[in-house]
């Protein structure tokens, strides 16, 4: 059996040292021989360069010591055996200087080379560690699509050891049903030489399907690219769960809306006869106390009917069952009509109800615009103490109008201002409690304005009054 001996670095160092010593000794012997027997101090000194070069390559700048040793030997033998005249001695010294310079230069070059090599190796190691221990799966893809280099994460994602990935193409990992889509996407991106990122199903070794988000980037000045793959399976599962929950919620919401619709209708049906019989009885009963009771019954039934109607209207808006019927009208007429209907109520509270509205023709759903103004003016009357002032103003802004209903009422605290347009939201005041309101009027105003393509907002100062603004486009293009 052949004996293969592994040469360690230490062995090779000893080996080099022995060769160098032998060469140096040979040079010394040559020097002695030629000086002593031939009385010449110059012959064969170029042979000295051999140990100098080797010392420079193997021991770098330490080669200078070898050069010094050989130089001193050379001069000593020349002086001892040849008895050189001074000018030849000077020449020998120059030669020795050359030895030292050559040894130093070779040592220096070699040292720089070794340092550069070490730096390169360190940098290589540094980037290898980054690549290897990155927390995303990375792989280098050659021009034909073959995988040439992968990291630990890629091994654990794919289930393959890196040696087993020889000859595998990256497309082999894309689930069959996604391949066409992925190929088309990459072709498109390649046209613009843009980096590509896409999500697809990743097939691992045991056939498990994982979802990954993969980004491919060309490595500059090569025909390769690097791909980073992020396992998003858990995210996808969460997304699926969320979607299912949303679907269930939407279904429940629809069931709730359907139920409420039926319930509101059923609740409203007996109210009509109650109101009807109450007003009939009012006329039939002569007793004063009895008449008062009947009037109360009628008022409460009408309030209940109003509340149910509002809930029904909001349910219809939610179910997209409310459609606008546009017609052209003068906003001034509408404001005057609404103000006129509220004059008795305002008069009861000694409120000043006025308006400043120019003639503006707009295209809108007239009954809905009337409802918007009615709700706002009714609130203003409700929340303004006796002797106050309510004003309705409309401004022509070109493409739309901006209306404002202002009052000198109790005002709304700042923290409630953005919430009052939410359903069933009420600012808890004694007036609100007394009014028996439900917090739906402003929600309807907001929905109606939104349906027209406008916006609504409010400003207020507690104790000084409130201003409710809304906009309405003057024309309904494309409707």
Give whichever of 195 and 413 is closer to ligand ADP, judged by the CB atom: 413
# of chain residues touching ligand ADP (CB under 6 A): 21
CA 35 to chain centre: 85
Cβ 417 to ligand ADP, closest distance in Å?
A: 9
User: Scanning residues 459 to 478, which ones bind ligand ADP (CB under 6 A)?
Assistant: 466
Cβ(267)–Cβ(308) below 8 Å: yes
Cβ(408)–Cβ(464) below 8 Å: yes
Cβ 412 to ligand ADP, closest distance in Å?
A: 5
User: Scanning residues 423 to 452, which ones bind ligand ADP (CB under 6 A)?
Assistant: 425-427, 429, 432, 437-443
Using the rule CB under 6 A, is 403 a contact of ligand ADP?
Answer: no
Binding mask 348-387 for ligand ADP (x = CB under 6 A): -------------------------------xx--x----
C-alpha to C-alpha distance for 403 and 377, rounded to whole angstroms: 12
In the list 51, 56, 409, 454, the residue contacting ligand ADP (rule: CB under 6 A) is 409
Cβ 362 to ligand ADP, closest distance in Å?
A: 24
Using the rule CB under 6 A, is 309 a contact of ligand ADP?
Answer: no
Cβ 303 to ligand ADP, closest distance in Å?
A: 11
CA 351 to chain centre: 55
Q: Which residues contact 310 (CB under 8 A, 6 or more apart)?
A: 438, 440, 441, 444
- Establish how many alpha carbons lie within 13 A of residue 174's alpha carbon, considering only the half-sphere containing its beta carbon: 17
Give whichever of 213 and 374 is closer to ligand ADP, judged by the CB atom: 374
In the list 153, 313, 407, 447, the residue contacting ligand ADP (rule: CB under 6 A) is 407
Give whichever of 289 and 434 is closer to ligand ADP, judged by the CB atom: 434
Phi, psi of 99 (to 5 degrees): -55, -50
Give whichever of 147 and 420 is closer to ligand ADP, judged by the CB atom: 420
In the list 351, 420, 456, 472, the residue contacting ligand ADP (rule: CB under 6 A) is 420
Binding mask 121-160 for ligand ADP (x = CB under 6 A): ----------------------------------------
**Helix boundaries (H) for 323-395:** 331-348, 366-382
CA 10 to chain centre: 56
Using the rule CB under 6 A, is 408 a contact of ligand ADP?
Answer: no
Q: Any bridge partners for residue 283, and if so which?
A: none
Give whichever of 355 and 429 is closer to ligand ADP, judged by the CB atom: 429
Cβ 267 to ligand ADP, closest distance in Å?
A: 18
Give whichever of 179 and 316 is closer to ligand ADP, judged by the CB atom: 316
Cβ 315 to ligand ADP, closest distance in Å?
A: 16
CA-wise closest residue to 467 among 401, 402, 380, 364 = 380
C-alpha to C-alpha distance for 110 and 405, rounded to whole angstroms: 91
Q: Which residues contact 97 (CB under 8 A, 6 or more apart)?
A: 71
Using the rule CB under 6 A, is 48 a contact of ligand ADP?
Answer: no
Longest dimension (CA), the chain: 164
Phi, psi of 34 (to 5 degrees): -70, -30
Report the sign of the C-alpha dihedral through residues 180, 185, 188, 190, in that order: negative
Give whichever of 153 and 447 is closer to ligand ADP, judged by the CB atom: 447
CA-wise closest residue to 453 among 426, 435, 434, 471 = 471
Measured in Å, how far apart are the chain's first and last C-alpha atoms? Answer: 97
Residue of this chain nearest to ligand ADP (CB atom): 437
In the list 106, 157, 412, 449, the residue contacting ligand ADP (rule: CB under 6 A) is 412
C-alpha to C-alpha distance for 445 and 454, rounded to whole angstroms: 11
Using the rule CB under 6 A, is 107 a contact of ligand ADP?
Answer: no
In the list 362, 410, 449, 472, the residue contacting ligand ADP (rule: CB under 6 A) is 410
Binding mask 67-106 for ligand ADP (x = CB under 6 A): ----------------------------------------
Kindly list the strands in the beta sheet with 225-231, ordered across the sheet, starting from the edge strand earlier in the chain: 147-150, 137-141, 225-231, 209-218, 196-203
Give whichever of 257 and 416 is closer to ligand ADP, judged by the CB atom: 416
Phi, psi of 449 (to 5 degrees): -65, -40
Give whichever of 278 and 420 is closer to ligand ADP, judged by the CB atom: 420
Cβ 286 to ligand ADP, closest distance in Å?
A: 36
CA-wise closest residue to 422 among 440, 404, 435, 438 = 440
Q: Any bridge partners for residue 138, and if so which?
A: 228
Residue 327 host element (H or E): strand 327-330
Cβ 462 to ligand ADP, closest distance in Å?
A: 9
Give whichever of 153 and 407 is closer to ligand ADP, judged by the CB atom: 407
Give whichever of 97 and 367 is closer to ligand ADP, judged by the CB atom: 367
Q: Any bridge partners for residue 470, and if so which?
A: 403, 456
Which residues in this chain contact ligand ADP in the complex, by CB under 6 A?
Answer: 379-380, 383, 407, 409-410, 412, 420, 425-427, 429, 432, 437-443, 466
């Amino acid at each position: 059996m052949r004996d293969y001996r592994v040469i360690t670095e230490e062995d090779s160092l000893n080996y080099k040292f022995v060769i160098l010593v032998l060469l140096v000794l040979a040079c010394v012997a040559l020097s002695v021989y030629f000086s002593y027997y031939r009385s010449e101090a110059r012959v064969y000194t170029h042979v000295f360069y051999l140990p100098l070069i080797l010392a420079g390559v193997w021991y770098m700048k330490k080669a200078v010591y070898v050069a010094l040793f050989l130089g001193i030997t050379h001069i000593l033998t020349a002086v001892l055996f040849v008895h050189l005249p001074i000018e030849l001695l000077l020449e020998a010294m120059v030669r020795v200087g050359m030895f030292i310079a050559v040894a130093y230069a070779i040592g220096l070059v070699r040292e720089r080379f070794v340092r550069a090599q070490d730096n390169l190796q360190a940098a290589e190691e540094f980037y290898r560690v980054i690549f290897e221990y990155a927390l995303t799966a990375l792989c280098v893809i050659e021009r034909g699509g073959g995988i040439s280099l992968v990291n630990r994460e890629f091994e654990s994602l794919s289930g393959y050891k890196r040696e087993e990935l020889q000859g595998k193409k990256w497309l082999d990992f894309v689930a069959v049903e996604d391949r066409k889509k992925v190929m088309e996407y990459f072709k498109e991106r390649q046209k613009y030489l843009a980096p590509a990122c896409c999500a697809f199903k990743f097939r691992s070794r045991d056939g498990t399907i994982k979802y990954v988000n993969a980004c491919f980037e060309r490595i500059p000045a090569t025909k390769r690219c690097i791909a980073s793959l992020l396992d998003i399976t858990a995210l996808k599962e969460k997304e699926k769960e969320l979607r299912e929950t949303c679907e269930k919620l939407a279904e429940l919401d629809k069931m709730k809306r359907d139920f409420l619709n039926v319930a509101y209708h059923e609740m409203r049906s007996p109210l009509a006869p109650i109101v009807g019989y109450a007003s009939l009885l009012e006329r039939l009963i002569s007793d004063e106390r009895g008449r008062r009771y009947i009037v109360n019954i009628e008022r409460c039934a009408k309030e209940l009917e109003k509340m149910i109607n509002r809930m029904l209207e909001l349910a219809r808006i939610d179910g997209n069952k409310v459609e606008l019927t546009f017609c052209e009208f003068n906003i001034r007429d509408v404001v005057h009509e609404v103000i006129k209907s509220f004059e008795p109520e305002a008069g009861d509270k000694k409120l000043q109800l006025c308006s400043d509205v120019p003639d503006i023709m707009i295209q809108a759903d007239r009954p809905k615009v009337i409802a918007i103004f009615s709700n706002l003016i009714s609130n203003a009357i409700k929340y303004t103490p006796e002797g106050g002032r309510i004003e309705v103003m409309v401004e022509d802004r070109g493409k739309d109008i901006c209306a404002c209903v202002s009052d000198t009422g109790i005002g709304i605290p700042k923290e409630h201002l953005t919430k009052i347009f939410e359903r069933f939201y009420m600012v808890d005041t004694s007036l609100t409690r007394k009014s028996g309101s439900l917090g739906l009027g402003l929600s309807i105003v907001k929905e109606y304005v939104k349906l027209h393509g406008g916006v609504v907002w409010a400003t207020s100062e507690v104790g000084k009054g409130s201003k409710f603004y809304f906009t309405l486009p003057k024309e309904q293009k494309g409707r």
